Amino acid sequence: MTDHTDTVTHDGQTGAPLWLLAELTYRCPLQCSYCSNPLDFAAVEEELDTAEWIDALTQARAMGAVQLGFSGGEPLVRRDLETLVAEARRLGFYSNLITSGLGLDESRIEALREAGLDHIQISLQASDPEVAAAVAGSRKAHGKKLAMARAVKAAGYPMVLNVVLHRHNIDRIDQIIALCDELGADAVELANCQLYGWAHLNRAGLLPSAAQLEAAEATTARWRERLAERGRDMRLLFVVPDYYADRPKACMGGWGSIFMTVAPDGAVLPCHSARMLPMRFPTVRERPLHEIWYQSEAFNRYRGDAWMSEPCRSCDERHRDVGGCRCQAYLLTGDPAATDPVCDLSPDHHLVEAARREAEDDTRSARELTPRNVHESRVFCRT
């Protein structure tokens, strides 16, 4: 099938995609309410098969992609993960597995290592099982994650942990960092949850207050000092939520600039959240990746600065932040071409300020969050 809607051809200036995120599946044993997967993920039923994934990886590598992330959903539910990792190694990718750790065991870690996987990043929800269970919908997951973090390290990988921070766990950041220290982590990403997909649905229940954020940053800074005094090499990266910045991030380094996602059904996206935008993204089943990257209307829509409206159009900073994030602009204003409201020059910045004010209300419980799940997702498939 050919998409006849494209009119833009390669401008000769667009560089190659350097990063490929392979979202192997939307299936996942957990139900994290901060998940960035699309609300209607249940509508995606026919995942690419092994041969289709290998073809997509081969095409991306031929275009110049060097970094490959396997994610999901939970990529470990794909029984062909080891085959895909081996192919990635043969093609010359640097490969990273982004996982909850569920579905992993010592023998699978060994099989992935033998297949040539370069890096594993495990996510933790909290320092204690109760909060982890309230946010991820599983009582058993926490203990399993800790065991797998240790097993990954024992297999010779650096232990890289990702902790998604939100208003229900950020006050326990001291205990979270202590747990990572005790586990022997080499690097910890303390990433305040970005508000896309299910996380956006749960925004009011997830966004921390300014006071919570300030205290968490101060605690992280104290931990950095203490670790340095002990000569302990555990890198702590603290990622502030967009809603507390006054300038937006240059999302994905710019739309269709260096980053490409292939979704479970083969849809090719400039970022993991873009499929909810009011536009159509071609799939690898329809067209070659090269053509999608360089020639599709979807990838060319927000390249460069011609699409920008005021205040970005005449702003001196437009090449630094490329007007921010298209998905955030859409989620907050309904217009994907709007200036990202995170920017305090945006006429819609009051929306972000209202969300910050809302976050000052401290009466919400983690139990009120809507878990990411197939049943709820089917509701969004129909709307």
Beta strands 119-124; 160-165: pairing state = parallel
DSSP, residue by residue, 368-380: GSPPP-HHHHHHH
With beta carbons less than 8 A apart as the criterion, state whether 78 and 53 touch: no
- Residues of the chain by 3-state class (helix, strand, coil), percent to 5: 45, 10, 45
User: Nearest 5 degrees, angle CA 63-CA 276-CA 364?
Assistant: 125
Q: Is 28 annotated as a binding residue?
A: yes
Structure tokens given for 140: 């058993």
Calpha distance 352→356 (Å, rounded) = 6
Identify the three-state secondary structure at position 167.
coil
Q: Which of ligand FES, ligand SF4, none does residue 193 bind to, with CB < 5 to 8 Å depending on kind?
A: none
Count of residues for the chain? 383
Shortest distance in whole angstroms from residue 12 CB to ligand SF4:
25
Q: Is the CB of 53 or the CB of 244 nearer to ligand SF4?
A: 244
Q: Which listed range, 140-148, 233-241, 315-323, 324-332, lies at the site for ligand FES (CB under 6 A)? A: 324-332
Residue 132 interacts with which of ligand FES, ligand SF4, none, CB < 5 to 8 Å by class: none
Report, in Å, the least distance between residue 142 CB and ligand FES: 28
Q: Is 275 a binder of ligand FES (CB under 6 A)?
A: no
Q: Give whichever of 52 and 317 is closer to ligand SF4, judged by the CB atom.
A: 317
Please state the φ and ψ torsions of residue 284, each to the nearest 5 degrees: -70, -15
The Cα–Cα gap between 58 and 362 comes to 49
* Residue whose CB is less far from ligand SF4, 129 or 311: 311
Binding partner selected for residue 61 from ligand FES, ligand SF4, none, CB under the kind-specific 5 to 8 Å limit: none
Give the alpha-carbon dihedral of 210, 351, 36, 251, to 10 degrees: -90
Contact in structure between 373 and 32 (CB atoms under 8 Å)? no
Nearer to ligand FES, 79 or 320 (CB): 320
- Give the position of tokens 């942990």: 161
Question: Taking CB within 5 to 8 Å according to partner kind, which of ligand SF4, ligand FES, none is near residue 248?
Answer: ligand SF4
Which does residue 326 touch among ligand SF4, ligand FES, none (CB within 5 to 8 A, set by kind)?
Answer: ligand FES
- Determine contact, residues 242/23, Cβ cutoff 8 Å: no
In the complex with ligand FES, the residue whose CB is nearer, 28 or 325, is: 325
- Interface with ligand FES includes 39 (CB under 6 A)? no
Q: Please pick, from the candidates 31, 261, 273, 346, the single residue that binds ligand FES as defined by CB under 6 A.
A: 273
Residue 32 labelled as part of a binding site? yes
Stretch that binds ligand FES, among 97-105, 184-192, 268-276, 288-296 (CB under 6 A): 268-276
Q: Would you state the structure tokens that stand for residue 290, as one six-digit string?
A: 């090269």
Query: By three-state DSSP, how is residue 217 classified?
Result: helix
Q: Provide, rounded to whole angstroms, the least separation between the CB of residue 25 and ligand SF4.
A: 34
d(CA 139, CA 129) in angstroms, rounded, equals: 7
Shortest approach of ligand SF4 to residue 206 CB, angstroms?
A: 24
Helix (H) or strand (E) holding 261: strand 259-262
Do 182 and 259 meet the contact criterion of CB atoms below 8 Å apart? no
Three-state SS for 233?
A: coil
Q: Give the nearest residue (CB) to ligand SF4.
A: 315
Per CB under 6 A, which of residues 242..261 are in contact with ligand FES? 251-252
Residue 339 contacts ligand FES per CB under 6 A: no
Nearer to ligand FES, 294 or 299 (CB): 299
Candidates 64-72, 173-181, 223-231, 269-277 — which segment interacts with ligand FES by CB under 6 A? Answer: 269-277
Q: Please identify which residue in 206, 325, 343, 355 interacts with ligand FES, judged by CB under 6 A.
A: 325
Residues that bind ligand FES (CB under 6 A): 196, 251-252, 271, 273-274, 325-327
Annotated binding-site residues read 28, 32, 35
Annotated binding-site residues for [4Fe-4S] cluster read 28, 32, 35
